[in-house]
Amino acid sequence: MDLTYSDADQAFRTEIRTWLEDHLASADWAGLKGLGGPGKDHEAVEERLAWNQHLAAHGWTCVGWPVEHGGRGLSLWQQVVFHEECARAHAPHGVNHLGEALLGPTLMAYGTAEQQARFLPPIREVTELWAQGYSEPDAGSDLANVQTRARLDDGGAEVGGEWVLDGQKVWTSNAHFSQWMFVVARTEPGSQRHRGLSFLLVPIDQPGVEVRPIEQLTGGSEFNEVFLTGARTGADLVVGEPGQGWAVAMALLGFERGVSTLAQTVDYARELDTVVARARANGSYDDLVLRDRLATLKVELSVIRAQGLRGLSSAEPGADSVFKLVWAGWHRRLGEAAMEVAGHDGLLTRSADGSAYDLDDHQRLFLFSRADTIYGGSDEVQKNILAERVLGLPREPRP
């Protein structure tokens, strides 16, 4: 396994680094540095959208997509370089990760030519944003328990018609500023578990869709409840065959290869630096136990990065689950260490007038990193995968 970057990759690094430095230095964008991302996705959405469209205008969105679909066709390592350089430059975080990294590749693999022509260009140009309608109140880790229903209403016509959806989704990130949502729904009445599900593309801005933001511990609202009450979408907006949506839904999750998460370790290193700087400034660095914890976090981050690279460069079974477990647990421990360092200041959560949350970056890190071990497959789910698929332990009882 050769983990060194080739000369071509290094040349590409110089190209994107220079471009980002030039453009982020401009008065239009300089103020957006570091905005958005996990725990902060509610920040400056309009401005980040404009930045993303600026990237698109210069061909810097969907860089891993094949050229025939309008991408740059970058190799895996060049995609890593791209995301690392964005993180290094403290570029504002993207607003359409779900469309670009997950739905786009799914449409390329399973969508019709018409679906690809209709939906890929606006994802690339960042003119249509997407939300993921998988989770429900009783279907999270156990996604096969989806209860949202969809039926085909052909209106008496021989062709055409519409899907009509009823049900509830929850924890739907970004639905409040997205135009579209991909939805896993049960289209075969009486079907059980992963059978009889379909993968539908549903416009959000319509009377049958109600989006209710959920306020998080951090005070922001990145995710939502989404109520579908007679929501409609075109009969042709099913991806793959009706009733075969489970395979499409799982394939979509498989497209998350961790390229951007690996680059996130650049952000993590910066966060750790700010915690260390606070420890120096307030004297808590003198606490030997705390020093030990901070040094351990530094060492662990190097190991996590190596594990991420390993996951990308090999098809080792379980590598993705190991990576998810180690980075999510690390980030939580960083949040906890940040609160130790902050001391009493970490307890102050009200603005001067007592009215609202007014968190500093370390408090937000501490609170939001509790979610890291839940989304994208919880710790327990990752351990079940490792136990059953890698260690060959007996399968846990299924409902």
Ligand X SMILES: Cc1cc2nc3c(=O)[nH]c(=O)nc-3n(C[C@H](O)[C@H](O)[C@H](O)COP(=O)(O)OP(=O)(O)OC[C@H]3O[C@@H](n4cnc5c(N)ncnc54)[C@H](O)[C@@H]3O)c2cc1C
- Count the Cβ atoms, other than its own, within 10 Å of residue 119: 22
Residue 179 touches ligand X, criterion: CB under 6 A: no
Choice from 173, 221, 274, 349 touching ligand X (CB under 6 A): 173
Choice from 6, 141, 147, 351 touching ligand X (CB under 6 A): 141
Distances in whole angstroms, Cα of residue 214 to Cα of each of 67, 114, 176, 223, 226: 38, 35, 10, 6, 10
As a whole number of angstroms, the distance between CA 84 and CA 263 comes to 5
Closest approach of ligand X to the CB of residue 220, in Å: 11
Q: Please identify, using beta-carbon distances, which residue of 24 and 183 lies nearer to ligand X.
A: 183
As a whole number of angstroms, the distance between CA 303 and CA 263 comes to 14
Cα–Cα nearest to 260, from 37, 5, 80? 80
Residue 172 touches ligand X, criterion: CB under 6 A: yes
**Which residues have CB under 8 Å from 114's CB, separation 6+?**
236
Cα–Cα nearest to 175, from 143, 238, 119, 222? 222
Tokens of 235: 């009969």
Residue 145 touches ligand X, criterion: CB under 6 A: no
Binding segment for ligand X (CB under 6 A), chosen from 8-16, 246-254, 321-329, 380-388, is: 380-388
* Residue carrying the six token digits 């793959």: 240
Binding segment for ligand X (CB under 6 A), chosen from 13-21, 83-91, 132-140, 240-248, is: 132-140
**Which residues have CB under 8 Å from 238's CB, separation 6+?**
163, 187, 198, 199, 200, 201, 245
- Site residue total, ligand X (CB under 6 A): 18
As a whole number of angstroms, the distance between CA 85 and CA 91 comes to 9
Residue 147 touches ligand X, criterion: CB under 6 A: no
Residue 274 touches ligand X, criterion: CB under 6 A: no
Residue 148 touches ligand X, criterion: CB under 6 A: no
Choice from 223, 246, 327, 366 touching ligand X (CB under 6 A): 223
**Checking DSSP bridges between strand 197-203 and strand 238-239, what pairing results, if any?**
antiparallel
List the catalytic residues: 256
Choice from 82, 110, 130, 134 touching ligand X (CB under 6 A): 134
Q: Please identify, using beta-carbon distances, which residue of 20 and 95 lies nearer to ligand X.
A: 95
Choice from 52, 96, 106, 132 touching ligand X (CB under 6 A): 132
Residue 374 touches ligand X, criterion: CB under 6 A: yes
Site string for ligand X, 234-273 (x = CB under 6 A): ----------------------------------------
- Summarize as ranges the residues that interact with ligand X (CB under 6 A): 132, 134-135, 140-142, 171-173, 223, 371, 374-375, 378, 380-381, 384, 396
